Amino acid sequence: MTQAGERAGFRLDSHKTMTPGEKNREGSREVRMLLKAKEFEDERQLVEQRHGPRIALILNGLKDAVAESVERLGGGGIEAVRNMDVWLAKFDVISNAV
């Protein structure tokens, strides 16, 4: 990100990583929607009809990868899923680039 910013005329001024608190449950909700909701299968079938079985196979692979990741969390299941850390950055304009 910093290299892309520099190429665009920006310099990284400061950055930090933020870890969402335990009460932020969006990650587990999103995983539950993917793994448990019937809508995913409906959408996958629609994608297969429109774009062919290859894309539907990719979607199934992604879903299987998420399910495997949940299994690796141990006994907590979907409820053990946490939100991702977030990288926060402040960029300044490089004065000679303007």
Residue 48 pLDDT: 93
Task: For residues 78-87, give the mean pLDDT.
Answer: 92
What pLDDT, in 10s, does the model give residues 17-58? 999 988 888 999 999 999 988 888 899 999 999 999 999 999
pLDDT of residue 12: 95
Mean pLDDT in the chain? 91
Residue-wise DSSP of 46-90: HHHHHH-HHHHHHHHHHHHHHHHHHHHT-TTGGGG--PPPEEEEE
More confident residue, 60 or 37: 60
Put simply, whether the predicted model's pTM sits higher than 0.75 gets the answer: no
Strand, coil or helix: 94: coil
Residue ranges covered by each domain of the chain = 1-23+85-98, 25-82
pLDDT of residue 85: 93
